[in-house]
Each structure stands twice: as structure tokens, then as C-alpha cells.
Amino acid sequence: MKAHKNRKSEVSSSTVAGTLKRVIAENGRDHIGGYAFAISCLILVAASTAFTAWIMEAVVNEAFANKRADLVILICSAIFGVFVLRGFASYFEAVTLAKIGNNIVARYQRRLYTHLMGLSVGFFSEARSAHLAAQISQNVTGIRDVLNLTVTSTARDFLTLIALIGVMISKDWVLSLIVFAVAPPLLYALRYVSRRLRVATKDAIEVNSHVLGAMQETIQGIAIVKAFTMERQLDDKVTNIIETAEKRANRIARLSERTSPLTESFAGLAIASVLAYAAFRSIYDNVPPGAFFSFVTALLMAYDPARRLAKLQVQIERAVVNARMIYALLDLQPQQREVPDAAELVVTEAKIELRNVGFAYGEGVPILKGVDIVAEGGKTTALVGPSGAGKSTIIALVPRFYDPTEGAILIDGQDISKVTKSSLRRQLAYVSQQPYLFEGSIRDNIRYGRPEATDVEIEEAARLAHAHDFILSQPKGYDTPVGENGITLSGGQRQRLSIARALVRNAPILLLDEATSALDNESEAAVQKALDVAMKGRTVVVVAHRLSTVVKADKIVVMSDGHVIEQGSHEELAKRPDGLYARLNNLQASPIEKPAEED
């Protein structure tokens, strides 16, 4: 059992060492100049601290015992100069390390954002966004803390302690041995505390991320919370999480602060022993007090760096846990890697083909089963069928949000799995079921479709999406902030802005996943007219539940349970008495072929 514990400790230590090595390797070279300057300042701080203790012998013996008035001014001037030097050195060191630390945090935030943008949609569908954001915000400072703790502890605390120990030994080596006798048991106790703190810190980070995530989700869904009077249920849920987080935090506080009674007790034992020994020597051997005062000054000054070094392993453990969780994200490999020789997609006709495509989310039940569809270039192909048939999944496969588990998707004969995702998506415009707007103005949100679009093009796209009039009615027109996810706008207005964003992209392929689902009848009719214009000359794949929106489609593909069961035009499919499309058309009260009213 004991051997097992030792092996576990060695593994943990090597992991900590590995994380430290990686942090230093990734950041040390870029900031070597700044760290060198900060270390120089810290060396001055250590030297000035040791000098203050060393000169106390001269102060006591020459000024108070020998009454050397001629040396008082010189000694006091030296002490004043050393303190001024230490003050400036501390200032420049703190500012330099703060700038380096801020730069490291900013770099890792940018790196994390870029890396997350490279991960597949599947990763984000499995990870809770609020939890992920909370975890990143809590842990990104861990890498900065690892480096800063290493530098300050090595260059300031360790060097200061070594310098002061040198002063202590030079003044009285017997007293120094008394102090050193208490060090081994103290170090063993601190190591035990740090091991327990490592586990507690990781648990606390997880729980705290759940607290922040739950709060963020509540804020984002506040309308639903109030509409369904969910306040009590969510309050109970969040309260339980908060109580768990509080217990974890209290446990960390108990473990972290155990170093205080340990260090204080050992320090008290050392100082009491030193005072007793020195007092008896002064009483019985008539030893001058200068060396003793210098030794005690060095001992008292050594207490702070020794205490900080005693806590260093605890602090490093906490910072390393944070850093390791950031690296766990950075080390995630994209599931949809591009092939090494991926080519640029070249679009001519914009013809889309699905050949024997199968797909399942993770290890779940297959959603698509041997699907064969051809969406002719420059024409509109509509996907209809009951919920769960796999229509939206096909829309998600074309931009490679996911990859098929079997079969292939081709555009103009080019397998999209063998072209770069960026070149593929540049040829697509996409409107999802749930319109999403980003922080910024209405103009900014439309321009995301094509960053180089001019204001004239943005306004033209808004007109086509029948959004221009309501935009002008906003307080600042196109420069009106939309609020978080467009909360200040109605669902129909958000969807029309989403359509305008797709139109301004001016891509040869247009994907519409229930693009008019959030619109009322009047807005739907207006937007449908705009889409009719926008669809001309483009390859359009549209998903719709309301068959009235796909009557004019060149081809209608009817799906059920992951299979294609019918294909044809509206007129052809509506005439099949036993067909699913005809049945769906009848279930919707025949809005397309309304019978004449009887007299």
C-alpha cells in the first residue's frame, strides 16, 4: 500500500514538473529580457535586505557600545541609500512582472479563442457553453501565476533567504544550527498539505465553473425562467451548487492556511531557542551584543521569505492545476482534420451530391441511412418530412459542421472532405432555425456575412430581407446596438437580419434551415418574395415544415426516418395518393390547393 502511494506521488510530481516545463518553454524565451530585468531588481532587493541585517552589528557595537559618533552619519546614510534602492527595485520588478503576466494572459486568451474556433461544432454541442466560458475565465491566469511565482520565489525569496542565512552563519554558526534543526519536519508537513490541496483545488475549480455556468444560463434564459415561474426550482439548484462550492472553498482555506500555524510554531521555537542561547552567552560569557542583534535581525528578516517559500508549493500546486486545465483544452485535437493535401474548392455549377450518406451523432442511433440526393446547380432543392427525419442534419453536413460516418458529399464533383473548410464555407451562405446576433450594431451584424461589404450593399441586403424599414425605425438606425443576442428585437426581426447577413455574402450556395419559421404570416410572405429573388442563379437547399414555402422549389425531397422516400416537384408529389408528401399536404389543410367555397 505504501509503495502504491509513493508511485502515485511520483506520478503527480512528474505531472507538475511537466506542466512547469511546458509553461516555461512556451513563454520563457519570449520574455527573457523582461524576466532578466525583473530578476536583477529582485537580486538588488535580496542584497539590500541582507545588507540591512549585516550592518546591524556595526549599528549596535559602534553607535551604542563604542559611542562612535563619527560613524553614525555614515551608517545611517548607507541604510537610507539601501532602502531607497530597494524601493525602486521593488517598483520596477512589480511593474515588469505585471506587464509580462498581463501579456501572457492576453496571449493565452487569444490562443484559446483561436483554438476553440478550430474545434468542430460537435465539441460545442457536447460542452456546455456557460461551463466552458466559466472554466476558461477562472483558469487562464494559472499560467501567469506559475511563472510569476517561480521567478519571484527564486530570485527574491530564495536569494534573500540564502543571503540572510549567510549573514546568520557569519555572525554565529551555532545559532544557525539551532534554526536549521527545525527545517526538515516543517518541510515534510508542508509537502503533506500540498498533496491534499492539489485534489481539493481541482474539485473547487470544477464546482465554481458550475456556479458561474448556472448563473449565466439563468440570465440568458430569464424570460423562460419568469414565464414558467422557475425561480424557486433554479434557486434551489443554484443554492445547492453554491453550498458545495462554499464547502470546497472552506476546505481549501483550511488546507492553505495550515501552513501558518506550522511555520509560526516552528519559527517561535527557533527564535525562543536562539534568544535563550544568546542571553546565556551574554550573561555568563560577556559576549558583545552586536553580533547577536545582527543575527536576530537576519533571522527576523528571513522569516517572511521563508514563510513565502513554505507556501510556494501550495501556491504552485494551485496554479499548476489551473494551467493544466487550460492545456487540456489546448491539447484537444479537432475531430474534423483537413487532409494534408487539401485543395481549394472551385465552384462552377454549384451542384451538390450526397452519395450513400450515413450519419449518427457520436455513438447514438443513425440519423441518416444511405441518403442519395442531387441538388442541381442554380436550382432550389427542398427537404421536407416529419421532425427527426434528418433534414437539418443534411444542412449541417454540407458546410462540414459534422462529417458523414459513411458515404461522401460532393460539390461540382469535389469531395468536400478533401478541400479546405475555409474555401468550402466561403461558397456558402447559411440561415439557421435559431437566428443569432452578436454584440454590436445592426450594421455590424449584417456585415459579418462579408466583412468587405459596403454600407450600400448592406442596406440593399436589408431591403431584400424586408428589414430596411424596421431598421430605420430603430433609435440609431443601422447603428443601433442589438443587445445580447438581439434581445431588443423581435424574433421575426432577428430572423430577417440573419437573412440579410446571408444575402450580403453573395455566395453561390444558399442553405436555409427553416429560415422563415420565426416570422408571422405577413413577414413570411414578404421575406419569401425576397428569398425568391435571392435564390435566382444560386443553388439553394431549404428545409421547411410548412409546405407553402417550398411549392416553387425545382425539386422536393421527402424524407422519413433518415431515408429519402420521395423526390419530385410539388405537382408530381401532390398527385400521389399514397405518398407521404400528399398526406402532409392534406394535414396542413391544403393551404396550397384551397378548394373553392360553396355557394
pLDDT per residue over 470-510, tens digit each?
999 998 999 999 877 677 788 778 888 988 998 898 899 99
Rounded distance, CA 416 to CA 412, Å? 10
The pLDDT value recorded for residue 238 is: 82
Q: Over range 326-349, report the average pLDDT.
A: 85
Rounded distance, CA 181 to CA 184, Å? 7
The pLDDT value recorded for residue 596 is: 42
The pLDDT value recorded for residue 483 is: 75
The pLDDT value recorded for residue 590 is: 47
Rounded distance, CA 550 to CA 588, Å? 13
Confidence of residue 423 (pLDDT cuts 50, 70, 90): very high
C-alpha distances out from residue 596 to 573, 577, 584, 591, 599, Å: 22, 21, 20, 12, 9
The pLDDT value recorded for residue 192 is: 67
**Residue 37: pLDDT over 80:** yes
* Residue with the three cell numbers 420565426: 518
Q: Over range 196-205, report the average pLDDT.
A: 68
Superfamily in which the 378-395+417-587 domain is placed by CATH: P-loop containing nucleotide triphosphate hydrolases (3.40.50.300)
What are phi and psi for residue 194, nearest 5 degrees? -65, -35
Residues of the chain with CATH 3.40.50.300: 378-395+417-587
Helix, strand, or coil (residue 218): helix
Residue pair 556/582 in contact by the 8 Å Cβ criterion: no
The pLDDT value recorded for residue 12 is: 41
Rounded distance, CA 47 to CA 120, Å? 54
- CA diameter of the chain: 131
C-alpha cell at position 52 = 540591512
Q: Over range 511-534, report the average pLDDT.
A: 72
Q: What percentage of the chain carries pLDDT values higher than 90?
A: 22
**Cβ within 8 Å of residue 64, ≥6 positions away:** none
Residue, of 35 and 195, whose pLDDT is higher: 35
Please say whether the dihedral angle defined by the alpha carbons of residues 565, 570, 574 and 575, taken in this order, is positive or negative: negative
**Cβ within 8 Å of residue 21, ≥6 positions away:** none
Rounded distance, CA 462 to CA 453, Å? 13
**Residue 468: pLDDT over 80:** yes
**Residue 1: pLDDT over 50:** no
pLDDT per residue over 75-103, tens digit each?
888 888 988 998 999 899 889 988 998 88
The whole-model pTM stands at: 0.69
Residue, of 374 and 174, whose pLDDT is higher: 374
Residue, of 542 and 317, whose pLDDT is higher: 542
Query: Chain-wide mean pLDDT for the chain?
Result: 80
Confidence of residue 420 (pLDDT cuts 50, 70, 90): very high
Helix, strand, or coil (residue 596): coil
How many CB atoms are located within 10 Å of the residue 236 CB? 10
Q: Could you tell me the fold of the domain covering 20-330? A: ABC transporter transmembrane region fold (1.20.1560)
The alpha carbon torsion through 192, 197, 203, 207 (nearest 10 deg) reads 150
pLDDT per residue over 499-520, tens digit each?
899 889 889 999 988 877 656 6
pLDDT per residue over 272-318, tens digit each?
776 777 677 667 666 666 777 787 788 778 877 877 776 777 677 77
> Quick one: which H or E segment has residue 513?
strand 509-513
Instruction: Choose among 352, 490, 545, 513: nearest CA to 431.
Output: 513
pLDDT per residue over 207-259, tens digit each?
776 777 777 777 767 767 777 677 888 888 888 888 888 887 787 777 766 66
Q: Over range 160-165, report the average pLDDT.
A: 85
Residues of the chain with CATH 1.20.1560.10: 20-330
The pLDDT value recorded for residue 365 is: 87
